Homo-oligomer: A and B are copies of this chain.
């Protein structure tokens, strides 16, 4: 909640802006903990901040392995490296999974919004065969989807609520560590410290 913008969010918005000519500037790596206790790491796409907050949205398929992993351990770290400005954001936090069965109508609305905001091409992926399962040849690969259709069952929204951000600028050789704590009225407060790169 709160009207104050997290201080690292301004840096991140600036980095996104100055790297926006690169298609891959909205891609980052999301690390979670695998069911076998080993780290798991994959590239995902930034789908915006949740309205008026510093929470980061990611679309994914409920059938991917990361869903089970996050259910088992909800903590994750984003590593977002901007290849043009040489800036890195390591964003650590807890992930909330919003699928079609979520009992909260507000969350379902947010999920629907994220579905509507995605391209028809990326929507069609959720109708494809089960990700990670062996590829069966000869299966029909033609799907169609009316653009007005709401989110399909496999569509799922991940919302990462950051509680620590480690910012590194390799051009200026500056590093800032942002740490949050909850104030008495439950509002998230950020402090920052300059640390050695």
| B-binding residues in A (CB < 8 A) | 22, 24, 27, 29-33, 37-43, 73, 75-79, 81, 83, 88, 90, 92, 128-135, 175, 177, 193-197
**Beta-carbon contact of A130 and B29 below 8 Å:** no
- Report the separation of the CA atoms of residues A195 and B83 in the bound assembly, to the nearest whole angstrom: 30
- Report the separation of the CA atoms of residues A131 and B31 in the bound assembly, to the nearest whole angstrom: 22
* A–B complex contacts, Cβ < 8 Å, 19 sampled: A27-B81, A29-B41, A31-B39, A31-B77, A38-B73, A38-B76, A39-B75, A39-B76, A40-B92, A41-B77, A41-B78, A83-B83, A131-B197, A132-B177, A132-B196, A134-B196, A135-B194, A135-B195, A135-B196
Question: In the complex, which residues of chain B have a beta carbon less than 8 angstroms from the beta carbon of A196?
Answer: 128-135
- A29: shortest Cβ distance to chain B, in Å? 4
A135 — nearest CB in chain B belongs to which residue?
A: B194
- A40: shortest Cβ distance to chain B, in Å? 6
- Report the separation of the CA atoms of residues A101 and B73 in the bound assembly, to the nearest whole angstrom: 36
Question: In the complex, which residues of chain B have a beta carbon less than 8 angstroms from the beta carbon of A90?
Answer: 41-42
Question: In the complex, which residues of chain B have a beta carbon less than 8 angstroms from the beta carbon of A83?
Answer: 22, 24, 27, 83
**Beta-carbon contact of B77 and A24 below 8 Å:** no
